[in-house]
Amino acid sequence: MSELDRERREMVAVLQRPGVRPDPSLRITRRTFIHKSCLTGAATVAQTFAWWPLLNTIDVAHAAEQPFKFAWVSDTHLYPRSLNTRFVEKVVRAANEVQAMSPPADFMIFGGDLAQLGKIEELVLGNELLKEIKIRKVFIPGEHDWYLDMGKKWGELFGQPNWTFDHKGVRFVGLDTVSRGPDYWTVRKMTPEERMGHMATLDGSVAGPWAGVGRDQLDWLQKILADWDKSRPVVIFSHNPLYEYYPPWNFWVRDWREVNDVLKPYTKVTNIHGHVHQVLYNEIGTMRSIGMLATSWPWPYAPEGVPKLTKPMIRADPGDFYDGVGRSEISMNNDRIENEYIMWGRKQVFVQSAPDSSLSQPEILRPRVADQIGPY
């Protein structure tokens, strides 16, 4: 049995115990909005706002004290302005849209990978572009932001990579899942650019399983949740998903067991994460997990399948730079969380059948291997 298979079997045994599900008082409904896109530019933002394609709305019963909305933007992967104006335009578009939200969002979370190669000018550019958003902004880092200078510039611009605050009856937590990667560079005498280059590769075998929370941060997480009633809502933002989806691409955190140990007493935990650049939904133990779109490009689904609760989006049209990407608006009201993916440029949204006839290549999507393993 391979190491990965062993890991998967352990995950099923630990996280998917018989009868363990998210809080039974929580309801999930998925509503699909497929609107005709009539967006033509920033000037029409207010007018066309309600007509952008929305999809895979997830209602989760929760107990916020007052209804409110917040916005998610992530994975902008900015190069210097002169190298890639298209990615800059997408950030400008996201910023304009968030700023145009009415009523305004209470805050915006930026979920990591602001930069592509972690360069100072990339991070500064992202910070400048996002200044157009005047509401409160909070940030967590992605691996692309970090591994050139080990988070120095990111920290100067955005402060602590992990934090917590309470807002209208919900405890929000920002986790840093990127900075504790095992050192693969010192012994190989890599330059910072070489180190970053390995991080910038999705299936980079040299960087290995870099995503993790770390013992010190787990202790911190336990501490900041200690005074929180176990049945009150907790929303955890992380760059990487907090469960094992596909380790070769770091679509996980390697210490998911310990994360689960800390979170399992809490019955209303929602993890919202970036890094995967795709529509993704899963329930792990008592926690719900939602993957967010990037503004830059969509990653493919993992070759070994998707969580069986995910309703997958179709493969993006490679000729349309706005296809398969976007941002999210999340509403919290008395009894639910509703996530609306706002996907740009999408004509069709969901996979209707395994081979999608609209695509030149058939796309085969199936439940991931871990979901096909029975409990042991």
Binding site for Fe ion (CB under 5 A): 75, 113, 142-143, 275
Please measure the distance between the N-terminal and C-terminal CA atoms of the chain and give it in whole angstroms.
15
The token pair at 214 is 């770390």
Name the minimum Å distance from CB 264 to Fe ion.
26
Q: In this complex, which beta carbon is closest to Fe ion, that of residue 142 or of residue 312?
A: 142
Q: Which is nearer to Fe ion, 142 or 241 (CB)?
A: 142
**Residue 239 C-beta: closest distance to Fe ion, Å:** 6
**Cβ of residue 122: shortest distance to Fe ion, in angstroms?**
13
Q: Specify whether the CB–CB gap between 343 and 55 falls below 8 A.
A: yes
Residue 59 or residue 255: which is nearer to Fe ion going by CB?
255
Cα gap 197→189, rounded to integer Å: 14
Among candidates 174, 285, 278, which has minimal Cα distance to 236?
A: 174
- Rounded to a whole number of angstroms, the minimum distance from the CB of residue 237 to Fe ion is 13
Report how far apart, in Å, the C-alpha atoms of 353 and of each of 90, 311, 359, 362 are.
Answer: 30, 11, 12, 10
Q: Closer to Fe ion by CB, 239 or 336: give it.
A: 239
User: Would you say 22 or 142 has its CB closer to Fe ion?
Assistant: 142
| Nearest residue (CB) to Fe ion, 63 versus 178 | 178
> Minimum CB separation from Fe ion for residue 275, in Å?
4
Instruction: Report in angstroms how near the CB of residue 170 gets to Fe ion at its nearest.
Output: 25
The CA distance from 168 to 374, in Å, is 40
Non-local (6+) Cβ contacts of 27 within 8 A are 59, 60, 61, 335, 336
Query: CA–CA separation, 234 vs 31, rounded Å?
Result: 23
Alpha-carbon distances, residue 90 vs 43, 197, 279, 290, 299 (angstroms): 14, 24, 18, 22, 17
